[in-house]
A and B are shown apart, each in its own frame.
Chain A
């Protein structure tokens, strides 16, 4: 349980912007990692198997463009709001950000244990606010198998302290651990849903979220599978005193390259609302975000 002194509450209110944005960034990170890994292609008469996995000895060059508009509204007494105003904080606070992140995932040779090493390097991030959640050059190390998603165990970066490194690894680990997808054959005109529960450690709290993603196969042409994506976000905070409620929806497209067994392009637009109720005030957040991800896969030459 976290207790706040009176003065700290204000700081918390101000700082809530940061963890909330951080939270959203981690949602994007989840989306990034979820969408990064290719769908296992089984070109057969009975449809496509839609599972996620990395392949050994591959290089995944990925570019992600993110945009977001957040409107944060404080709901409190006049006195509280006046104090906010005195500190120069507008109510509501509207923030527009955009960023482009380039990363490279490299996979190594398959060994006798059916495992292969995985590295994920965050090459470059350019953002409108100049902030970088993960510093350029940070490399995450892990392993994967041909049947299981990667597990990351270490991160190398000069710009991250031990706590942040631990947070990133836990986030990645939690994400991948909960990504066991049921293998399912898909035909044109058919859809299926995947629910991915996530536990994200943020600002000392464990935020739990469910993303229900519905994929509908629209077409298979010229070696490309075209999916419509709809998402429903539900959030719940495992927190004893303060309550966070949130929900959201998303829609987008996935173009999957059958011949190369990877998702060529993934785009999604998300509308989310969150509400945080503390002792003396509440925060309402409306957020519109967009993500476009493109991946190019090539052999990982040594």
Chain B
């Protein structure tokens, strides 16, 4: 009897561990938990183009697989960034993604975009930083940080940063990761106002994203 109880407890513990590990994300976000391979599969993202994405380096597990990533979607001046879990779906090594959290910025100016995996805070590179930046000089990668967020990979949430001081973002397309380049960028961050409207993670998305009223 004792042994049986121990087995049950052990099984429950294993199950809790297995499923508990993946039970991260912003459950308040109505997009949480949605699984897709292509963003356009989801009706909420209909018409959006996938602009890019990136694995989160620190999410690499012991088997060498990345568990978390960012995806960047855009439709006209409406920009969405998704923190997602990478799901191995089949033997073909094709992956699917599970949404953990999203941020949605509307009325983004033409010289603005969301950047990720390219920002530092107080000269220390942080791949989990996300920023809305205005381009000063695209060829030199001179950007102004307008708004910043931090992906909490333990909780699976994207958190707004109240203070963007000390955050710098650069263009990093030459080397792919550009970590070394951060050391060369020593500039004070510039914070400017923007007309872009950020829909925070607290915004309850209960309808297609396009129909969400934008706060002015």
* Known interface pairs A192-B93, A218-B54, A220-B53; A255-B38 also in contact (CB < 8 Å): no
* Known interface pairs A187-B95, A190-B93; A221-B52 also in contact (CB < 8 Å): yes
Decide yes or no whether B118 CB sits under 8 A from chain A.
Answer: yes
Within 8 A of A (CB), among B30-60: 37-40, 49-55
- Judge whether B52 and A189 touch: CB under 8 Å: no
**How long is the Cα–Cα vector from A189 to B93 in the complex, in angstroms?**
10
* Total number of A residues with any Cβ neighbor in B under 8 Å: 22
- Checking A188, A190, A191, A219 against B176 with a beta-carbon cut-off of 8 angstroms, the contacting residue is A219
| A190 / chain B contacts, CB cutoff of 8 Å | 93-95
| B51 / chain A contacts, CB cutoff of 8 Å | 220
| A218 / chain B contacts, CB cutoff of 8 Å | 54-55, 176-177
Most A CB contacts (10 A, CB to CB) among B50, B117, B174 go to B50
- Checking A189, A222, A253, A264 against B86 with a beta-carbon cut-off of 8 angstroms, the contacting residue is A189
Decide yes or no whether A40 CB sits under 8 A from chain B.
Answer: no
* Known interface pairs A45-B38, A45-B50, A226-B177; A221-B55 also in contact (CB < 8 Å): no
What is the 8 Å Cβ interface bit string for chain A, positions 242-280, against chain B (1 contact, 0 not)?
000000000001010000000011000000000000000
What is the 8 Å Cβ interface bit string for chain B, positions 142-186, against chain A (1 contact, 0 not)?
000000000000000000000000000001111111000000000
* Total number of B residues with any Cβ neighbor in A under 8 Å: 31
| A220 / chain B contacts, CB cutoff of 8 Å | 51-54
- Checking A188, A223, A255 against B55 with a beta-carbon cut-off of 8 angstroms, the contacting residue is A188
What is the 8 Å Cβ interface bit string for chain A, positions 209-245, against chain B (1 contact, 0 not)?
0000000001111111011000000000000000000
| B175 / chain A contacts, CB cutoff of 8 Å | 253, 255, 265
A-B contact count (CB 8 A): 75
Decide yes or no whether A129 CB sits under 8 A from chain B.
Answer: no
Most B CB contacts (10 A, CB to CB) among A188, A192, A255, A264 go to A188
* Known interface pairs A45-B38, A45-B39, A45-B40; A188-B54 also in contact (CB < 8 Å): yes
What is the 8 Å Cβ interface bit string for chain B, positions 58-70, against chain A (1 contact, 0 not)?
0000000110010
What is the 8 Å Cβ interface bit string for chain A, positions 180-222, against chain B (1 contact, 0 not)?
0000000111111000000000000000000000000011111
| B40 / chain A contacts, CB cutoff of 8 Å | 45
- Judge whether A221 and B172 touch: CB under 8 Å: yes
Decide yes or no whether A46 CB sits under 8 A from chain B.
Answer: yes
Residue of B nearest to A254 (CB): B176
Smallest beta-carbon distance B37→chain A, Å: 7
**How long is the Cα–Cα vector from A265 to B175 in the complex, in angstroms?**
8
Smallest beta-carbon distance A268→chain B, Å: 14
* Known interface pairs A190-B95, A224-B173; A46-B54 also in contact (CB < 8 Å): no
- Judge whether B38 and A219 touch: CB under 8 Å: no
**How long is the Cα–Cα vector from A157 to B165 in the complex, in angstroms?**
61
* Known interface pairs A219-B55, A221-B117, A226-B177; A188-B71 also in contact (CB < 8 Å): yes
What is the 8 Å Cβ interface bit string for chain B, positions 62-94, against chain A (1 contact, 0 not)?
000110010110000000000000100000011
| B94 / chain A contacts, CB cutoff of 8 Å | 187, 190
* Known interface pairs A187-B37, A218-B54, A219-B52; A255-B95 also in contact (CB < 8 Å): no
| A227 / chain B contacts, CB cutoff of 8 Å | 176
What is the 8 Å Cβ interface bit string for chain B, positions 5-26, against chain A (1 contact, 0 not)?
0000000000000000000000
- Checking A189, A219, A255 against B117 with a beta-carbon cut-off of 8 angstroms, the contacting residue is A219
| A219 / chain B contacts, CB cutoff of 8 Å | 52-55, 117, 176-177
- Judge whether A222 and B172 touch: CB under 8 Å: yes
| A191 / chain B contacts, CB cutoff of 8 Å | 93
- Judge whether B37 and A223 touch: CB under 8 Å: no
Smallest beta-carbon distance A183→chain B, Å: 13
| A265 / chain B contacts, CB cutoff of 8 Å | 174-175
**How long is the Cα–Cα vector from A253 to B71 in the complex, in angstroms?**
21
The 3 closest A-B pairs by CB, nearest first: A226-B176, A219-B54, A220-B52
A–B Cβ pairs within 8 angstroms, 26 of them: A45-B39, A46-B37, A187-B37, A187-B95, A188-B53, A188-B71, A189-B55, A189-B95, A190-B93, A190-B94, A190-B95, A191-B93, A192-B93, A218-B176, A219-B55, A219-B117, A219-B177, A220-B54, A221-B52, A221-B72, A221-B118, A222-B171, A222-B172, A223-B173, A224-B174, A255-B173
A residues whose Cβ falls under 8 Å from a Cβ of B: 45-47, 187-192, 218-224, 226-227, 253, 255, 264-265
Contacts A187-B37, A188-B71, A264-B174 known; 11 new A-B pairs at CB < 8 A: A46-B37, A187-B95, A190-B93, A190-B94, A218-B176, A219-B54, A220-B54, A221-B72, A221-B172, A253-B175, A255-B176
